[in-house]
Structure 1
């Protein structure tokens, strides 16, 4: 048994944010049915890179543990089938432009009329209202418009995007939050709801701390590299050999940090004992710590700092953290059996629930792999009716 056993989700979304959210819910037990176009399916099925055998690594990262139905929603019969599948769902996730699902006869008003308990999550770029509602959007566009890119990078360099699809993935988390909140609300209200979730709104909400500085100080926050605007030291320092180590120290850590680095005079200097003063003297503190770290081996220094109780973390590459012993012991890297590629690695959904079975970690579905079963077992179509749909290309 898993926490979301018995919950049915129909997923009309594509590429990343929506599929990421529904994968999380699927692995916690929900039955997720992915509605895709015959022939091509979700466009991320062909995104590079690909594993041997042709499976997209991108698609595999966000579509595990789901079912796939290939149905042509450009046809009346296809839209009818999609409607009937959605009419049985607890949650629907879609990322069409506003009004797109309505044009297909699959909007919230139409579906809630026959399925009043439906939690319908519309994940659009800019929301259902506002002057930008009809704009198309992409991860990096949201990063740019929201100010995230302007805040990322070093003060003397150009703006930079975040190293992962930040807007997509944070929006994916909010889709999952919204779906679960709607389901919980349904328990007390007895009815579902329509969730208007804008990816742009999600990005703006993540500006909580820079916005707080603007509200409090009237400043325009800028790029500060790895440093923290309100804490010194909290930054990455280069060690001997070129490797980087991140050190973050509050007042209670300051004398311990100085002791490990051999900065005895700075430790006893009252000018540096309080964070507010170190922020004011940021350049002087940074220069002293940079010079001290540059003479030390990163592994030795990191271990010495942690032994002293000073927060420190190596700046790892992706292969380094994937092969880190803690990552491995925690089971974050696992593998599923892909029919084309065989044993295929992937990253697990992180939450662990006591009292339940381990969450699912199954291969992503082949396009249309579950079409016939769902038409028969869930929609009650006869073999002849199903054969006719295949013959006409309505399903695949």
Structure 2
């Protein structure tokens, strides 16, 4: 590893909370940026109270999303706090926020004011609906965007309410799009000399995620509406989730050649005679037409066999398949370990922490972050000194709570 990280020398102000914004900051830190996390005095980022907590104090959620950052806590109600923030933003390349549109204008941290002071600033806003449109003023979370986007309506069992998506799809998908947009704006700044405002909406990004539903509807003149399908894909037989004797697995044999190998193997291992040679099933349209007949055979075959046996048979004929794993099985998976998808960090109070890594892999630099998330206001004095504040000014701001540190009384 001989190259510096790609964003070395870029300063990022992370004025965000909970998930989407902090995830952007975490990614930029992993890519080499200096990321300064700014929090309110007292409780800080609301994500600090989110499960899972250590000693009812330290949130694993916060540790996961804020590793690699330096932390300051500033009282923006005090004029000295506002002046500190303006000076900090004047020194920055990127500013991240995920508040409701207009909220930061009231604090003097809106795009127009900061860009007037620092025209090279790339300012990234993340919100539920974006800064334009009739819903721009409305509050929202990933759950709201998932429901409104049409994604939630397509999952689950017909006749039942859709399940809750147990990962924050809207926040994470918007976050990584924001990372891409910020890097593009930084690259564009090389030629233009100017930053710009990036307006990211959770709702927008989830609508953009539809790889087939939108065109199914528009190209069919509104006659095709994706519906809940339960455990398989009616337009891609055979592609779905199946229950074995001792667990669940997924099978992807939807391509013609793969289907023929799969069906022949089933027949060789107890499926009805002629199943593999049935030409009705040798094309995708034919399989989709006779989907229920196929599912009846496959489900019966799978149900009486252990997952490991089924996977072995499928691996032998190169059919994509996998066990539906619990998170403990994921963390013990040799593939995940080989890819370095768990990062170990040494915390001064809690010892070794094992947290999910980011999937960035570069040939000539390492993006693994070993620096733990900061305590509230941990780097107040260090950052203030770097901005040119004197020792006396820093001491005065700390004594008056303008710069707040964990353990202080707000």
Q: Does 1:254 align with 2:259?
A: yes
CA contact (8 A) 1:77 1:394 kept: yes
Q: Does 1:220 align with 2:225?
A: yes
Structure 1 Cα separation of the partners of residues 159 and 239 of structure 2: 18
Structure 2 Cα separation of the partners of residues 120 and 340 of structure 1: 35
Q: Which residue of 126, 131, 137 corresponds with 2:129?
A: 126
Structure 2 Cα separation of the partners of residues 244 and 206 of structure 1: 27
Q: Which residue of 215, 240, 248 corresponds with 1:244?
A: 248
CA contact (8 A) 1:14 1:95 kept: yes
SS of residue in 2 equivalent to 1:292: helix
Q: Show the counterpart of 1:105.
A: 108
Cα-to-partner distance string for 1:101-146 (whole Å, 9 max, x where unaligned): 2111111121112211111001111111111111110121111111
Q: Does 1:139 align with 2:142?
A: yes
Q: Which residue of 142, 156, 159 corresponds with 1:153?
A: 156
Structure 1 Cα separation of the partners of residues 66 and 169 of structure 2: 18
Cα-to-partner distance string for 1:336-393 (whole Å, 9 max, x where unaligned): 111221101101111111112443232100010111001012x101111111111221
TM-score when scaled to structure 2? 0.93
Note the 1:227-306 alignment, pairs <5 A: 227-241=232-246, 243-249=247-253, 250-262=255-267, 263=271, 264-306=273-315
Q: Give the alignment's Cα RMSD to 1 decimal.
A: 1.4
Note the 1:24-103 alignment, pairs <5 A: 24-52=27-55, 54-103=57-106
Structure 2 Cα separation of the partners of residues 41 and 89 of structure 1: 21
Cα-to-partner distance string for 1:196-253 (whole Å, 9 max, x where unaligned): 1111111111123111211223222111123224210000111123x11110111011
Q: Between Structure 1 and Structure 2, how many residues are aligned?
A: 394
Structure 2 Cα separation of the partners of residues 269 and 369 of structure 1: 68
SS of residue in 1 equivalent to 2:54: coil
Structure 1 Cα separation of the partners of residues 17 and 6 of structure 2: 25
- What are the ranges of 5 or more consecutive residues in structure 2 without an aligned counterpart? 405-410
Instruction: State the shift of 1:4 in Å.
Output: 1.1
Structure 1 Cα separation of the partners of residues 218 and 293 of structure 2: 28
Structure 2 Cα separation of the partners of residues 154 and 45 of structure 1: 35
Q: Does 1:392 align with 2:392?
A: no
Q: Show the counterpart of 2:16.
A: 13
CA contact (8 A) 2:71 2:377 kept: yes
Instruction: State the shift of 1:173 in Å.
Output: 1.0
SS of residue in 2 equivalent to 1:113: helix
TM-score when scaled to structure 1? 0.96
